[in-house]
Chain A
Amino acid sequence: MKIVPQIDANPRLVSFGQTALGKAALIAAFAAGLFVYGADSWIEIAAAIALMACFPARRRLLASMVALYWLFFHSTWLNWAFLRALAKAEGQRTDWLLAVLVFSSLAAVFGALAAFFHYVRARRVSFAARRPVLCLVAGYAAMLAAAGLLPLGGVTRLLMWCAIAVTAPYLWYFAYALKDASAKTPDGAILQFGTLQPFWGGTNVPYAKGAANLRKIEARDPQDLSIVQLKAIKLLVWGLILRVALRLLQVFVYGGALHAPSLGVPRLEAALRLATVPVHLAWASVIAHFAEAILELTVNGSLVIACCRMAGFYALRNTYRPLEARTLAEFWNRYYYYFKELLVTFFFFPVFTRYFKQHGRFRMLAATMAAATAGNMVYHFLRDYRYVAGMGLWRALAGFQVYGFYATVLGLGIGISQLRGHGKQRLGGDAPWWRRALATAGVLLFFGLLEIFDQEGRSYGLGQCLRFFLRLFLIPV
């Protein structure tokens, strides 16, 4: 029995969703769901979806117009707090003049991207045209390194960091746009714009990927649209259920709610700081942290993908039944699909298709490490530019040791899992239950323990995390 009814498989509902009344009902139901969810700007999202439902032939163009609206009125991806603090520290104004500076920087960055996009289309044989994403990422990394190393001050420093702060949240969206530039018939600049921090949300990871994917997953006719919108509502309901589960976990495990009984388990961040923590509480803290991480990612991803589907694009779910994974590689694929897709697209395949072709197993391991280790580290280091601004380049790099360790173990684990499972039959439903349970338990134990080292900030040293890890197994340190 399914927890959420399969409304998208009900022919009467699918037919109803194609009528004017049905469309209105679906949008109203979705808007109500967004309201219950507590989604920011739920009215505007519902209005955007209604527009797209009324003019399906102009769906992509409308997505671009809504993206522009979101950029001006809901650009939560721009780190305004960082920019204001920086402007203040450099003795510059933090009022409307800063906003003008930020949007001018954005216009300059978008202009540069558009020029590069046309260059890639026109000069297909040059190095920059053949490796546009490499050039893009290297260019941004060089800019970040220069900002962290050069003795800049005043308005020059503000300008430099402003360029970095507006580029960072778009970096991997630009990467997908540049990849599309090599396609036979790519979208033009206006339609590409709708894929850059689209209104359905996401993080610095492009959920639903770029224009090439949107072209493939767009609803083709009223029946397609009705089905994908019913799937959107179903996913939103599932997200709401998991949100309740997440809140219950937070209240009853960690405590904090008035008069509610709780187990008083310390959060992992707090447990890492404690010199002594009872072993049972340390384990409880690791398990609760892992469960919370899975639930949070699923809840947030469900909201984003539900909005994307409601707009008429049948995007795959970001988190899909992670507890059914039987191997490390499978878990990673099911846990954070769009981040994995980003790493596979921009790090795995470039290595896999170019290097170590005569060394089959090593080729697979090298490409997996290029993605899960190197790509993962590059993504996070470039994303968290504020540490470079605050600590300088070298200290920010040194403080990245814990995440480096995490990414290395992750890459090795997934790489070995890929090699072991490559070409083999998946452990399916016909396998004995204890083998399936054992495989899943092993996968969850690996990722749960690895979460101790998944420290993207610079608050903990590697020794601190290792000591905590060893204490779990009663190894004195």
Chain B
Amino acid sequence: MSLHDEVREFVSGLLRRKGTFVDLGDDTSLVASGLLDSVDTIDIVTFLESRYGLDFGDIGFDEDRFESIVTIVQLVEESGKSSPAQRD
């Protein structure tokens, strides 16, 4: 599964758990629209850390980067870790 598809599936699952069912587009506003709140982004942070090895302590946390599927994918690509992290 591609990075884009994985992110999309994760965010869709997150919304379903919240009881929110929307037609999720790549540019659909997630945080500013209130679909996800800042606490929900914790789940995305944890997913990106465990799946792609991102270290937000280094790159810094910026809520804007969680605004849509596209911005999340860009965040992972810019970090240079767009393939799943190797696990021991």
Chain A interfacial positions (CB closer than 8 Å to B)? 130, 182-183, 212-213, 216-217, 314, 316, 329, 333, 337, 340-341, 344-345, 348-350, 352-354, 357, 360, 364, 418, 422-426, 428-429
Contacts and interface: CB of A to CB of B under 8 A. Distances in A.
Given A182-B60, A344-B39, A423-B43, 16 more contacts: A212-B63, A216-B67, A217-B32, A329-B39, A333-B39, A341-B37, A345-B38, A345-B63, A349-B38, A352-B45, A353-B61, A357-B49, A423-B17, A426-B18, A426-B19, A428-B19
Given A344-B39, A357-B49, A428-B19, A316 B34 contact: yes
Contact of A213 (B32, B46, B56): B32
A353 B19 contact: no
Interface string B26-44: 0001001010011100110
B45 A353 contact: yes
A333 B18 CA distance: 13
B64 interface: yes
A216 B17 contact: no
Which 4 interchain pairs have the tightest Cβ spacing? A353-B56, A216-B32, A354-B57, A428-B19
Contacts of A341: 37-38
17 contacts: A130-B60, A182-B60, A212-B64, A213-B32, A314-B32, A333-B37, A345-B38, A349-B38, A349-B56, A353-B56, A353-B57, A423-B17, A423-B43, A424-B17, A425-B17, A428-B19, A429-B19
A101 B32 CA distance: 39
Nearest to A355: B57
Contacts of B32: 213, 216-217, 314
Nearest to B14: A423
Contact of A349 (B43, B61, B67): B61
Contact of A352 (B18, B37, B42, B62): B42
Nearest to B34: A316
Contacts of B17: 423-426
A128 B62 CA distance: 17
Contacts of A353: 45, 56-57, 60-61
Given A352-B45, A353-B56, A426-B18, A216 B62 contact: no
A217 B33 CA distance: 8
Contacts of B34: 316
Contacts of A337: 37
A451 B45 CA distance: 33
Interface string B51-69: 0000011001111100100
Most buried by B among A329, A340, A344, A418: A344
Contacts of A216: 29, 32, 64, 67
Nearest to A329: B39
Contact of A182 (B29, B37, B38, B62): B62
A349 B46 CA distance: 12
Contacts of A217: 32
Given A216-B29, A426-B19, A183 B64 contact: yes
A453 to B, nearest CB: 24
A316 B34 CA distance: 7
Contacts of A425: 17, 19
Nearest to A216: B32
B34 to A, nearest CB: 5
Contacts of B57: 353-354, 357
Nearest to A317: B34
A263 to B, nearest CB: 37
Contacts of A428: 19
A435 to B, nearest CB: 15
B38 A344 contact: yes
